[in-house]
Structure 1
Amino acid sequence: MPEEDLVELKFRLYDGSDVGPFQYSPTATVSMLKERIVSEWPKDKKIVPKSASDIKLINAGKILENGKTVAQCKAPFDDLPKSVITMHVVVQPSPTKARPEKKIEKEEAPQRSFCSCTIM
């Protein structure tokens, strides 16, 4: 594929640092982008995604769907020549199995407080 057809993307993390920029074909999917982000994730970060499903990509205020291609996700104003498109990365871990709830004994039941007002 000719180099001028490639799209240059970088990914902004929660702390303002970036992953990339990398060049992608317009036919690359959002899923492929997420896999690359996970593999290139900086090791010194406090929040680390375990898999690509833990990541959401946002471009031009929209959460991108996994099956969409880069060409479908580009905002019209990103068609400037040789511009780098910045996408925001949100880490949202997959929900884990629900923890069993503890039964609350009468002694452990939270105390209800009541408030009353008297107007004289």
Structure 2
Amino acid sequence: MPDEDLVELKFRLYDGTDIGPFRYSPASTVAVLKERIVAEWPKDKKIAPKTANDVKLINAGKILENSKTVGQCRIPFGELSKSVITMHVVVQPSLAKAKTEKKVDEAPRKNICACSIL
């Protein structure tokens, strides 16, 4: 693929730091981007995704679906072919894990009323 057809993307993390920029083919999927983000995630960050499913990408105010391609995601910026597109990254653990962890955390607690009426 010619070098000029590639799309240059960088990923902005929750604390304002960036991963990238990297160059991608317009045919690359959002799932591929997420895998790269997990692989390149800085080791010193307090919050880190465990899998690509823990990552949400936001571009132009929309959460991107895994099946969408880079070419489809950059439509609002189509005329800006030579610039770097910044996508925002949100780390959100999958719901199944969060529910399981909550149940484990809540099990030892018991509600006990210690009221005295005089």
Normalising by structure 2, we get a TM-score of 0.84
Segments of structure 1 that go 5 or more residues without pairing to the other structure are 112-120
> In the alignment, is the contact (CA less than 8 A) between 1:78 and 1:85 conserved in 2?
no
Segments of structure 2 that go 5 or more residues without pairing to the other structure are none
Could you say if the C-alpha distance between residues 81 and 65 of structure 1 is closer, same or farther in structure 2, counting changes exceeding 3 Å?
A: closer
Please give the root-mean-square deviation of Cα atoms over the aligned residues, in Å.
Answer: 1.8
Report the number of matched residues.
109
> In the alignment, is the contact (CA less than 8 A) between 1:60 and 1:75 conserved in 2?
no
Q: Provide, for residues 13-72 of structure 1, a one-character-per-residue CA deviation record: whole Å limited to 9, x for no partner.
A: 000000000000000000000000000000110101000000000000000000000011
Could you say if the C-alpha distance between residues 75 and 109 of structure 1 is closer, same or farther in structure 2, counting changes exceeding 3 Å?
A: farther
Normalising by structure 1, we get a TM-score of 0.82
Distance 1:14 1:88 in 2: 8
Percent sequence identity is 68
- Please point out which of 102, 109, 114 is paired with 2:113: 109
